[in-house]
Structure 1
Amino acid sequence: MKIDLRCIPCNLSSLLRILDVNNAGEEEKKQVVRTFLKEVAEMDWSDTPIDIGRKVGEALEPLFGNHDAFRDVKRLSNRSLMEIYDDLKEELLKLDDPLLGALKLSVAGNIIDVAPGHKIDIHKTMKDALSRPFAIDDLEELAQRIRSTDSLLIVGDNCGEAVLDKLLLELSGVPNSYFSVRTIPALNDITMREALEIGMDEVATIIDSGADAPGAQEKTMQRGFFDVYSRADVVISKGQGNLEGLSSAKREIFFLLMAKCDVIGGFLGVPKGSFVAYRKAESRG
């Protein structure tokens, strides 16, 4: 997936949001934005939107270093979902097909409302996840593949949502399960720190993907992760950022996400707001 001009204002908005969260001064904001825009103007337009996201991090680094601007947001998201983890598991086990339900719930993690003082309605969450139609629906095929596979990799995305990925991994029971995290903080994406806090290591081997931006890319994968990624029988990619970075990958990948913007919707040929479970076939050559 290549850069769309609409990705520039989107990333600029993310940059400004990070600056506001960290109470940056007006002159600091101007300097960071100036650096970002200068770097973006010199980019190769055949790059992916992830490469613009990397420019956000690079522009912020002189001011904040590796400071995790969304640390509190990530902790709240994870804690809110972990509080109902056992209840969600109990509800899934009542279904005729708990694995299929867990897959749907994993996608629905994109839209679960997490805010201070907000208590998640378990029954509404389950109902919404199970009843919402998918614009692209390869879930049945994915479920069948998981049931017969020996190795499964989930390329992780956001905190909160990752708790539901943990539940999916637990119910799948795949002997060799892996879950990948970002190398450094990127927006509200999950890193090793948060993965360990939610006990992801209880259901899978946590592995650093090498991603230094809000999405995985083959060109940035660490060797150990690339070996797992290449050999895994089934790879699930979560969220928009990972789709942006892995849509041109040669191997087969199942993309699970909500199309949250017109750029992604247009790329997939679905309306904005759609749930998607898309199997990208292995490409040759």
Structure 2
Amino acid sequence: MKTAFECMACYLRQTLQVARVSTSDTVLQLTALRQVAKLISQMDMEQTPPENSIPVYRTIAEITGCADPYLEIKKQSNRQALALLPECERQIGAATDPLATALRFAIGGNIIDYGAMHSFDVDAVMARCLKAPFAIDHCEQFLNRARGLARGSRVLYLADNSGEIVYDSLVVSELAAMGLDVTVVVKSGPIINDALLADAKSCGMDKIARVVENGTSCPGTPLESCSPELLQAFKAADLIISKGQGNFETLSEAEAEIFFLLTVKCSVVGAHLAEISNTAPDELSGSGELALFHYIGNQKNG
């Protein structure tokens, strides 16, 4: 997915938001805005939005001196999700199809995104996610594919944000219980509120799956920049699960079969997803639609 004109205004919004979280010094906040504005004027629009965000966040960090501005917010998100986890597990245990229910919690958890949104009601979203219709519903394809895998088959789960990764653990637990060999991928360095190794460990993900870093500080998975370990795991996977908008934006033209799980929080992402999935654009306005999209290479899939 290429960077759109709308992304440029979004970078400035994010810059002001992050600068204010990073420092109370208004001079530094203004300096960050001006420097990012210069970056935007020279951006390669052929790059994906997450890749273009890397120099944006690097610039903010250099100016403010704060490398991980969302650190405390990430910890809070993890605590909040962990507090809800027992009730989620209870509902999954009582469900007719536990894996399908776990998928809904994981997709609903994708609302925890400080890049795309700065305010949201997690409790309300998690309650809604069990009943809301999917804008793209390839859940049956996913369930059939996962259940058709032999024991020991390799599953690659590309995680997105902190907090959200707690809900991801519900899906990973179900897959591991099926005898599948699950590897969960997190980012190698802080970027927005994306999950790091510490976040994965905080929710016990390392107890139920192998956890690896992708070799980047990009809020997505740009394969050309990822570590050899990640690339090897990507090529060897029997099932690839991609969580969130950033991973979708960087992998939406990849030559691979991927199940994208996301809450659509951006009109640009919604329009692109609608195009490649043959979905009516008005069904993906970017206002919080739930989607589970089975993507096959560069082929459009209805």
TM normalised by structure 1 equals: 0.91
Listed one character per residue, the Cα deviations across residues 143-182 of structure 1 (whole Å, up to 9, x for unaligned) are 1212233111111111111101011100122431011111
Q: Please state how far the C-alpha of 1:65 moved relative to its aligned partner.
A: 5.2
Distance 1:211 1:94, change over 3 A: same
Aligned to 2:219, which of 210, 214, 226?
214
Residue 245 of structure 1 aligns with which residue? 250
Match of 2:261, SS state, is strand
Residue 29 of structure 2 aligns with which residue? 29
Q: Please state how far the C-alpha of 1:51 moved relative to its aligned partner.
A: 2.2
Aligned to 1:267, which of 244, 269, 272?
272
- Tell me, in whole angstroms, the C-alpha distance in 1 between the residues paired with 2:263 and 2:255: 23
Match of 2:183, SS state, is strand
Is 2:207 aligned against 1:202?
A: yes
Deviates more, 1:54-63 or 1:9-18: 54-63
Listed one character per residue, the Cα deviations across residues 174-197 of structure 1 (whole Å, up to 9, x for unaligned) are 431011111111111101111111
Residue 231 of structure 1 aligns with which residue? 236
- Tell me, in whole angstroms, the C-alpha distance in 2 between the residues paired with 1:65 and 1:228: 35
Q: Please state how far the C-alpha of 1:255 moved relative to its aligned partner.
A: 0.7
Distance 1:62 1:126, change over 3 A: closer
Q: Which amino acid aligns with 2:192?
A: L
Q: Which amino acid aligns with 2:162?
A: C
Residue 146 of structure 1 aligns with which residue? 146
Residue 45 of structure 1 aligns with which residue? 45
Listed one character per residue, the Cα deviations across residues 66-102 of structure 1 (whole Å, up to 9, x for unaligned) are 6211111111111111123233112111111100111
Within 5 A, what are the aligned runs for 1:105-116? Answer: 105-111=105-111
Residue 280 of structure 1 aligns with which residue? 295
- Tell me, in whole angstroms, the C-alpha distance in 1 between the residues paired with 2:60 and 2:126: 38
- Tell me, in whole angstroms, the C-alpha distance in 2 between the residues paired with 1:35 and 1:109: 33
Listed one character per residue, the Cα deviations across residues 227-255 of structure 1 (whole Å, up to 9, x for unaligned) are 11111111111111111111111111111
Residue 167 of structure 1 aligns with which residue? 170
Match of 2:129, SS state, is helix
- Tell me, in whole angstroms, the C-alpha distance in 2 between the residues paired with 1:272 and 1:140: 23
CA RMSD after TM alignment? 2.3
Match of 1:275, SS state, is strand
- Tell me, in whole angstroms, the C-alpha distance in 2 between the residues paired with 1:17 and 1:65: 15
- Tell me, in whole angstroms, the C-alpha distance in 2 between the residues paired with 1:39 and 1:112: 27
Residue 195 of structure 2 aligns with which residue? 190
CA contact (8 A) 1:251 1:282 kept: yes
CA contact (8 A) 1:158 1:189 kept: yes
Distance 1:65 1:226, change over 3 A: farther
- Tell me, in whole angstroms, the C-alpha distance in 1 between the residues paired with 2:250 and 2:111: 21
Distance 1:2 1:199, change over 3 A: same
Distance 1:107 1:120, change over 3 A: closer
- Tell me, in whole angstroms, the C-alpha distance in 1 between the residues paired with 2:204 and 2:188: 18
Match of 2:128, SS state, is helix
Distance 1:224 1:259, change over 3 A: same
- Tell me, in whole angstroms, the C-alpha distance in 1 between the residues paired with 2:257 and 2:248: 13
Match of 1:84, SS state, is helix
- Tell me, in whole angstroms, the C-alpha distance in 2 between the residues paired with 1:24 and 1:38: 22
- Tell me, in whole angstroms, the C-alpha distance in 2 between the residues paired with 1:283 and 1:262: 21
Within 5 A, what are the aligned runs for 1:19-98? Answer: 19-64=19-64, 67-98=67-98
Q: Please state how far the C-alpha of 1:126 moved relative to its aligned partner.
A: 6.0
CA contact (8 A) 1:11 1:52 kept: no
Deviates more, 1:162-171 or 1:61-70: 61-70
Q: Which amino acid aligns with 1:35?
A: Q
Deviates more, 1:192-201 or 1:63-72: 63-72
Deviates more, 1:83-92 or 1:197-206: 83-92
Match of 1:214, SS state, is coil
Deviates more, 1:240-249 or 1:24-33: 24-33
CA contact (8 A) 1:40 1:55 kept: no
Q: Percent identity?
A: 31
CA contact (8 A) 2:264 2:270 kept: yes
Distance 1:266 1:198, change over 3 A: same
- Tell me, in whole angstroms, the C-alpha distance in 1 between the residues paired with 2:223 and 2:130: 33
Q: Please state how far the C-alpha of 1:283 moved relative to its aligned partner.
A: 4.2
How many residues align? The count is 279
Match of 1:131, SS state, is coil
Q: Please state how far the C-alpha of 1:201 moved relative to its aligned partner.
A: 0.2
CA contact (8 A) 1:69 1:187 kept: yes
Q: Which amino acid aligns with 1:272?
A: G
Q: Please state how far the C-alpha of 1:43 moved relative to its aligned partner.
A: 2.1
Q: Which amino acid aligns with 1:282?
A: G
